[in-house]
Amino acid sequence: MFKKRDNIKEVEEGKYLEPKFNENGLIPVITTDFKTGDILMHGYMNDEALKKTIETKEAHYWSRSRKSIWRKGQISGFQQIVKKIKIDDDQDAVWLSVDIGNGASCHVGYRSCFYRSIPLGKIKNTEELEIKFEEKMKIFDPKKVYKDEPNPTKL
């Protein structure tokens, strides 16, 4: 769909979008809150989701659990209005800066998916490495919002 990648100099410093999709046809996407700069989520897009996001200014992703394109908020109502899209040096990662108002981005109920931190320093036992909750308050109750939808988290 997009311009063919046939020259590294063009990919890195050329003027055309030449995104690289991985062996599953996906490109990783980082989504940040345009007001606070916080990272909200890390997801994936296929070529169609990238095109739809650019054209509609509403974030669309590829759901690996449902195996389909997914307009963020289609079930939860928490849509993401795209303010800016950037692409990285080798064009294999996308950065979306979005407006989510007072909403949330995480299916567990938190504003950001990154609500836990990993303590730094010498690890005693990697199999029992305790992480720390940084956000304590959920924005919504997932049971009320998602009802019987299957949980996208996979083991």
Interface ranges with its own copies (CB under 8 A): 1-8, 11-13, 15-17, 20, 28, 30, 32, 37-39, 41-42, 51, 54-55, 57, 82, 84-90, 92-93, 95, 106-108, 110, 113-123, 126-131, 134, 151-155
Contact 96, 85 (CB under 8 A): yes
List of residues 6+ apart from 21 with CB closer than 8 A: 27, 46, 47
Contact 57, 130 (CB under 8 A): no
Q: Minimum CB separation from its own copies for residue 149, in Å?
A: 14
The smaller minimum CB distance to its own copies, of residues 100 and 106, is found at 106
Q: Do the strands 27-33 and 39-45 form a parallel or antiparallel pair, or are they unpaired?
A: antiparallel
Contact 33, 40 (CB under 8 A): yes
The smaller minimum CB distance to its own copies, of residues 4 and 144, is found at 4
Q: Minimum CB separation from its own copies for residue 65, in Å?
A: 10
The smaller minimum CB distance to its own copies, of residues 90 and 149, is found at 90
Q: Minimum CB separation from its own copies for residue 18, in Å?
A: 9
In whole angstroms, give the CA distance from residue 27 to residue 43. 9
The smaller minimum CB distance to its own copies, of residues 64 and 68, is found at 64
Q: Minimum CB separation from its own copies for residue 38, in Å?
A: 8
Q: Where are the beta strands (DSSP E) in 89-129?
A: 94-99, 116-117
